[in-house]
Chains A and B, each alone.
Chain A
Amino acid sequence: MLSEQEKELVRELQKGLPLVSRPFLDIADRLGLSEEEIIAKVKDFLTKGVIRRFGAVVKHQDVGYVANAMVVWPVTEERIMEAGRAMASFPEVSHCYNRLSAPGWPYTLYTVIHGKEEQDCRSIAEKIASSIGITGYRILFSTAELKKSSVEYFLE
């Protein structure tokens, strides 16, 4: 559970790092804290994993990676940890999650694969399938991005 003061900082940080010479000082002034306190708290959040990373998120369609495939894999319970780790180690895989299956939906591992075109994604999925020895996967290409936003935490 984050403290009220930590939630305040999350609210400020999620606006984006100010593009001024001393951005942490700028945030500190708004929160009535010191620059050192803000920097220490950001580092603490990084250590605890509350902040996953501190940097830029780049819109990948603008840098040439156009195809985006979600590949779903029907992996049995006892192989999930091993297969999940193995899939995550492929550089073309940006996301790898284990999710609960559902009635009529046997898939338990989800990978997002990016490539310059659809055929790249198909080849990568096949390479992963043969290397890990899992068949019966499905590739779901995205045909339209309907929404992509960052969540805004702790809004009133």
Chain B
Amino acid sequence: MTILDQTDRDLLNIVQNGLPVVPEPYRALAEELHVSEEEIIRRLGRLKDAGVIRRLGAVFDSRRVGYKGTLCALKVPPEQISEVAAIINGFRGVTHNYLRDHEFNMWFTVLAESQDKLEQTIENIRGQTGIKELLSLPAENVFKIGVHFKIT
């Protein structure tokens, strides 16, 4: 756990909601927080290095970028979890992978540049892991995506 001071928390709450798309965005934040631009840049750099900020700047909508994606669920025998996870995580298009407390115990998201490449990736995953029970659950409608957490 990284220790955050009040200025870090204020800064995180502001930048989670958005960075101004202006020539000097960090100066704009500095004015809002009554600190120097250099301090904003230094703090953001530190929060990124510490992993508190995972990403700064543009968050793309993969569908509007033209990518195709799906959520897959797998039934992996407990003794094969680390081996299967290593195979799946090795695919560049796999962005998230979680173990969950269900018979379908491994849940991962895959993105690819086209529907063909997406299906090919899933076939490769089936082939390389040897796991037969795999559900592919593509999204039909997105009602909400992403959230801001109030940092107190």
Contact = CB atoms under 8 A, between A and B. Distances in A.
B52 A58 contact: yes
B146 A95 contact: yes
Interface in B56-70: 56-62, 64-67
B131 interface: no
B23 A39 contact: yes
Given A16-B55, A152-B92, A53 B146 contact: yes
A34 to B, nearest CB: 11
Per DSSP, chain B at the interface is: mixed
A10 interface: yes
B130 to A, nearest CB: 18
B68 to A, nearest CB: 11
Contacts of B99: 142-144, 146
Given A43-B21, A55-B16, A151-B93, A80 B141 contact: yes
Given A17-B19, A21-B27, A58 B95 contact: no
B146 A94 contact: yes
A146 B97 contact: yes
Contacts of A43: 21
Given A63-B151, A99-B71, A51 B98 contact: no
Nearest to A42: B21
B18 interface: yes
Nearest to B41: A19
A148 B94 CA distance: 9
A-B pairs, top 7 by smallest CB distance, nearest first, are: A17-B57, A94-B147, A88-B144, A88-B143, A98-B141, A56-B15, A147-B97
